[in-house]
Amino acid sequence: MQNLLTREDCRLVQASFAEIAPIASEVAATFYRRLFELNPSLVSLFKTDMQLQGVRLMEKLAVAVQGLEDLPSIAPLVGALGRRHAGYGVQPDDYDVAGEALLGALGEAFGPAFNSELRNAWSAAFRALSTEMIRASEGDGFSRR
């Protein structure tokens, strides 16, 4: 699979992620609210405190965002996340819902600054990461580009 994530996408995602760091807990809460609105059946997959879940989400996302320009460097993290998510019952189609929830949460956080360029960059980054998580969950490992 060809990597559709450009260096400019990586730069935009990394810079914008740094901007939302001070409100990370709010972004995480908005993400989960949107996720459960989009697919209420996903609520049953979460057994931990949602505030703690939000902290974990943002920690993992921070590592992934830092490694976007060298996806194989974050292969262990992404692969482990994909396998762990599969173990929780996450299905490949659930990633589409999660992507929509993430873009919605970022849109709320950034407001008008979340223009089509920034939205497309985040969408490409999420697609790249979720594709690799799904591959790992299916036992295919991280793809080499």
Which domains, from first to last, does the chain contain? 7-137 (1.10.490.10)
If we measure between CA atoms, which residue out of 138, 31, 127, 142 comes closest to residue 91? 138
**CA 63 – CA 74 distance, rounded (Å):** 8
**CA 102 – CA 3 distance, rounded (Å):** 20
Question: 41: exposed, middle or buried (C-beta count within 10 Å: 0-12, 13-18, 19+)?
Answer: exposed
Enter the pTM of the model: 0.90
Q: How much is the pLDDT for 2?
A: 38
Structure token digits, residue 98? 């999660």
Mind listing the pLDDT tens digit of every residue in the chain (145 residues)? 335 899 999 999 999 999 999 999 999 999 999 999 999 999 999 988 999 999 999 999 999 999 999 988 998 899 999 999 999 999 999 999 999 999 999 999 999 999 999 999 999 999 999 999 999 998 755 443 3
Instruction: Look at the chain and count its residues.
Output: 145
